[in-house]
A and B are shown apart, each in its own frame.
Chain A
């Protein structure tokens, strides 16, 4: 009799654990309206060091089928790894917007914030935004980029820093330009930084930095380029020589 009761108790406990998710879902606020799309207003693709809170909030907006903002729609957010979004759920404001703070996880790389809402037919609609966490190496690369590279490689001019991008015959690739930079291997990037454009049969307007930067600096720059690239860079992993 007794062991059977014990087994029943264990089963009940296991089932209640299994239902945990549904319980969490039911704790979400009851929506007052339903939207048809989730769009990002601001705060995507921010850079910060690992584990740090982002300076700008992530602001998303729920729209209806006509593209008008929907107030009172329920949204909930999830993020991978040990990153945190606060608040993780809520109703959109009168302007249809919802603003959350994001603290990045402790491992360098991308953190994908998934914002979800339900439309009238209870279908889940999701919006994925990336935030980028920089480790020591990537952060060093970011500093070096600001000192040596961004003058030509960042086409955007600001009041404080005028871009030289448009003055070049061969336009320098922005470091976010993953469609091109992802096709270059680490070795290619390293040699074009160290030996200049001619190393890859490209323009001499890219000067050699091999005698100015250390090897570790160049590796840091490559790590930074890989971190900010859009679409994201996927390492090919170990490549073995073929016979």
Chain B
């Protein structure tokens, strides 16, 4: 009662007549409207801006900092990229390099990056919600389609949206992409660049169509159970197969195999292999030297006594190869690998029968009795073979390997072209994985089976930094990348399918020059690019080098092996290289060494040793010079053309991109003198030895 009366009196007090009612309403309206300025006064960004002004008040260059400071909402607007970023409202000091020692956010200056901060805005690399003006809205992903700010370790993903090349500054992104190509991720998952080009695998898994000729069911079984137990560096992941599944798959692979040699092929190879199977003790040294001279270690690794891997990773590890391959197959393979696998990267070595026998015996001796010790398989039944075929289909083995009777499955696994924009609502998180996209991707790469025992994705053995690299490369695959203006895209260097023709072309394919050398945009990076080699070298040297490659760079452990080519073959190759692989930059015959005077040479010697200190990397006088980073130059006058030396000294990077030798801006006179001095270096080691 009392309360009702009070209410009535209040009502009368406020709305007794029209004048009072008007006044009351005006006050209520004013209070309602006051919410806006009050919210404005107490807004988060104003608090941060006030904090910034307090921070710089006592700074040594407070005056210029205050002058550059702008109060209120700041915005970067780039319509063509769809960027509306207000991050600099609170992150006020992004461009103030004098505040580098400040460690509290949001006042840190932005570290140096190759693009200006207003060129792309913030969200392009950092993600988050650009237009938001509160900490919570900007950094977290609350609504559908929003993305949380990316943790610092994945920032290179931002670069990967435009850069399909491999910039020097983004090693993590480059590593991630190369891992996905090398470990066959792209054989099951489609991964397209914004141009729509599907990423290709860089590793060619061996075909299994003749596998029974090469190895045994026991080995396949043990390998399937754990590839890393056979070779720690194996690129094949662990499919975590049960004993029965591994047994059935190995049974099917043996059953589908067909012979690779025609039935009437001479069987001498297998006979020789049997001879070579027991290498006598006196021959062990010879056998090891065949392995060494062929530079097998350039591509194949072997575990040494200390457990370290020694050798390259282009071919498979050979530590336990004797437990894997059949002797007849191995003997045939070292003689000519292309008969078994025409696309192999391994060259046809043209070994003599003795060398081939020694090498076969040497490799056969590399066994590991433990590896197959526990494998006991009964002869395969038809049921096992049929089940094995079903498993091969189910596990997608044919996505990587050629297998008789099984088609390569298309789109075996989900497409990942836009996985970096995958909405959180479409992700099923399990266990303790934090609910963010990078954490989900990392967990999936690290341990696919934690998302379900039935998942087909195999278990890889990546280190933490490799997992981060793969996640970075995946996060670069965003929807935004596909909508960016075409002009921003930096394409990957063109990979050509260049193929030399004719007799020389056949020889180059046979010896697999492209496994190590690149020519016209195709080939490996282990050895120098030969696109302009014809301008560089002299014919007599090239012919003798092809027949018997000697050491040019003493510091390198990977060297050109000897292929036992005939004189005619060496001359064919040399003529082809000298005629076809010429640089358009200069005429290789434009400079005649005969025109150099002895003064030129003397001045060149002085420049070589004093002004340019070339001896820190090159050897001209083997007695006194020690540098061995660059090629030895004792007989460079018989190896290179004068024109090449001249133009190379003028700008090494132009003729050999990426070479360590810097462009020293050498003037024409000095270059000429140096060329004269170098062209006089024609000593051959043999002649020098004879002199002694």
Binary CB contact string for chain A from 180 to 212 against chain B (1 if under 8 A, 0 otherwise):
000000000000000010000001110111111
Interface residues of A in 76-130 (CB under 8 A from B): 81, 106-108
B168 at interface (Cβ–Cβ under 8 A)?
A: yes
Are A49 and B113 also in contact (CB < 8 A) when A167-B616, A203-B613 are? no
Give complex CA distance A223, B626 in Å. Answer: 31
Give complex CA distance A227, B412 in Å. Answer: 45
Q: Which residues of B contact A232 (CB under 8 A)?
A: none
Q: Which of A50, A107, A164, A209 contacts B617 (CB 8 A)?
A: A164
Are A139 and B169 also in contact (CB < 8 A) when A208-B664, A211-B664 are? yes
Q: Which residues of A contact B103 (CB under 8 A)?
A: 81, 107
Give complex CA distance A140, B156 in Å. Answer: 12
A44 at interface (Cβ–Cβ under 8 A)?
A: no
* 17 new A-B contacts at CB < 8 Å, known A106-B152, A216-B114: A51-B154, A52-B153, A55-B463, A107-B108, A107-B152, A136-B169, A143-B169, A144-B168, A151-B629, A152-B629, A159-B308, A164-B628, A167-B627, A203-B613, A212-B663, A223-B112, A235-B100
Interface residues of A in 203-243 (CB under 8 A from B): 203-205, 207-212, 216, 219-220, 223, 235, 237-238
Give complex CA distance A25, B308 in Å. Answer: 43
Secondary structure type dominating chain A contacts: loop
B151 touches A51 (CB 8 A): yes
A147 at interface (Cβ–Cβ under 8 A)?
A: yes
Q: Which of A52, A108, A140, A205 contacts B168 (CB 8 A)?
A: A140
A168 at interface (Cβ–Cβ under 8 A)?
A: yes
Are A207 and B612 also in contact (CB < 8 A) when A136-B113, A143-B169, A164-B627 are? yes
Residue of B nearest to A159 (CB): B310
Q: Which residues of B contact A72 (CB under 8 A)?
A: none
Give complex CA distance A211, B151 in Å. Answer: 36
Give complex CA distance A208, B652 in Å. Answer: 13
**CB of A158, distance to nearest CB on chain B (Å):** 10
A238 touches B463 (CB 8 A): no
A137 touches B112 (CB 8 A): yes
Give complex CA distance A237, B60 in Å. Answer: 10
- B residues adjacent to A (C-beta < 8 A): 60-61, 98, 100-101, 103, 108, 111-114, 151-155, 168-169, 171-172, 308, 310, 463-465, 468, 555, 557, 610-613, 616-617, 626-629, 653, 658, 660, 662-665
**CB of B163, distance to nearest CB on chain A (Å):** 13
Give complex CA distance A208, B664 in Å. Answer: 6
Give complex CA distance A230, B611 in Å. Answer: 32
**CB of B34, distance to nearest CB on chain A (Å):** 29
Q: Which residues of A contact B98 (CB under 8 A)?
A: 238
Q: How large is the interface on A (under 10, 10 to 19, 20 to 34, 35 or more residues)?
A: 35 or more
Give complex CA distance A108, B101 in Å. Answer: 11
B152 touches A204 (CB 8 A): no
Give complex CA distance A147, B111 in Å. Answer: 23
Question: Can you list 13 A-B contacts with CB-CB less than 8 angstroms, sorted by A residue number?
Answer: A49-B172, A50-B152, A50-B153, A52-B468, A55-B464, A81-B103, A135-B112, A137-B112, A139-B171, A147-B658, A151-B629, A164-B616, A238-B61
A13 at interface (Cβ–Cβ under 8 A)?
A: no
B653 touches A51 (CB 8 A): no
Q: Which residues of B contact A135 (CB under 8 A)?
A: 111-112
Give complex CA distance A151, B616 in Å. Answer: 11
Residue of A nearest to B97 (CB): A238
Give complex CA distance A52, B628 in Å. Answer: 36
Q: Which residues of B contact A235 (CB under 8 A)?
A: 100-101
B629 touches A164 (CB 8 A): yes
Give complex CA distance A209, B659 in Å. Answer: 12
Q: Which of B111, B555, B613 contacts A136 (CB 8 A)?
A: B111
Q: Which residues of A contact B464 (CB under 8 A)?
A: 52-55
Q: Which of B463, B611, B617, B662 contacts A212 (CB 8 A)?
A: B662
Q: Which residues of A contact B627 (CB under 8 A)?
A: 164, 167-168
Q: Which residues of B contact A219 (CB under 8 A)?
A: 112
Give complex CA distance A142, B664 in Å. Answer: 23
Give complex CA distance A187, B310 in Å. Answer: 42
Give complex CA distance A28, B213 in Å. Answer: 62
A162 at interface (Cβ–Cβ under 8 A)?
A: yes
A143 touches B168 (CB 8 A): yes
- Give the one of A51, A143, A144, A212 with max B CB within 10 A: A212
- Give the one of B171, B616, B664 with max A CB within 10 A: B616
B153 touches A238 (CB 8 A): no
Q: Which residues of B contact A140 (CB under 8 A)?
A: 168-169
Residue of B nearest to A217 (CB): B168
Q: Which residues of A contact B172 (CB under 8 A)?
A: 49, 139
Q: Which residues of B contact A208 (CB under 8 A)?
A: 662, 664-665
B616 touches A205 (CB 8 A): yes
B111 touches A162 (CB 8 A): no
Q: Which residues of B contact A136 (CB under 8 A)?
A: 111-114, 155, 169
Give complex CA distance A168, B615 in Å. Answer: 9
A49 touches B168 (CB 8 A): no
**CB of A194, distance to nearest CB on chain B (Å):** 10
Q: Which residues of A contact B611 (CB under 8 A)?
A: 204
**CB of A167, distance to nearest CB on chain B (Å):** 4
Are A108 and B662 also in contact (CB < 8 A) when A151-B629, A159-B557, A212-B653 are? no
A238 touches B60 (CB 8 A): yes
Residue of A nearest to B660 (CB): A148
B151 touches A167 (CB 8 A): no
**CB of B270, distance to nearest CB on chain A (Å):** 36
B100 touches A52 (CB 8 A): no
Q: Which residues of B contact A107 (CB under 8 A)?
A: 103, 108, 152
**CB of B465, distance to nearest CB on chain A (Å):** 5
Give complex CA distance A139, B472 in Å. Answer: 15
Q: Which residues of B contact A210 (CB under 8 A)?
A: 665
